[in-house]
């Protein structure tokens, strides 16, 4: 049986407090999860870029690079971090119905 001890931790995103979980097997890795953004034929480049800037709190240049990768490869890993932060990033992207998936590394 696994048990969880919850401790306050530091987030990789400014202004967001996360909880670090320690399992019987050891502490949760803060970058053990990632958000994958998938291509669609619905959204414009500008819509995706602007939503990435909002979700990732990143530069326009970085958002453009992710958007181009999504367009050319069909997907892009846009964020890696804790599950809590990945859920936040994913939910912001999905506000405009972008398709995302949270994966474990």
Q: Is residue 10 part of a domain?
A: no
**Which range of residues forms the domain containing residue 44?**
29-104
Q: Is residue 41 part of a domain?
A: yes
Task: Report residues of the chain scoring pLDDT below 70.
Answer: 1-29
* Spatial distance between the Cα atoms of 58 and 42, rounded to a whole number of angstroms: 23
Residue 28 is predicted with a pLDDT of 53
Number of domains in the chain: 1
Residue 29 is predicted with a pLDDT of 62
The CATH number of residue 81's host domain is 3.30.1390.10
Q: Considering only CA atoms, which of 58, 41, 45 is closest in space to residue 92?
A: 58
Residue 5 is predicted with a pLDDT of 30
Q: Is residue 16 part of a domain?
A: no
Residue 6 is predicted with a pLDDT of 32
Q: Is the pTM of this model over 0.85?
A: no
Residue 105 is predicted with a pLDDT of 86
């Amino acid at each position: 049986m696994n048990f969880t001890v919850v401790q306050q931790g530091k987030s990789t995103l400014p202004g967001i407090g996360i909880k670090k979980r320690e399992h019987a097997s050891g502490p949760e890795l803060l970058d053990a999860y990632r958000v994958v953004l998938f291509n669609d034929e619905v959204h414009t480049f500008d819509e995706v870029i602007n939503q990435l800037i909002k979700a990732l709190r990143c530069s326009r240049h970085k958002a453009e690079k992710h958007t181009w990768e999504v367009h050319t490869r069909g997907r892009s890993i846009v964020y890696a971090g804790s599950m809590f932060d990945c859920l936040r990033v994913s939910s912001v992207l999905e506000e405009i119905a972008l398709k995302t998936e949270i994966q474990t590394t």
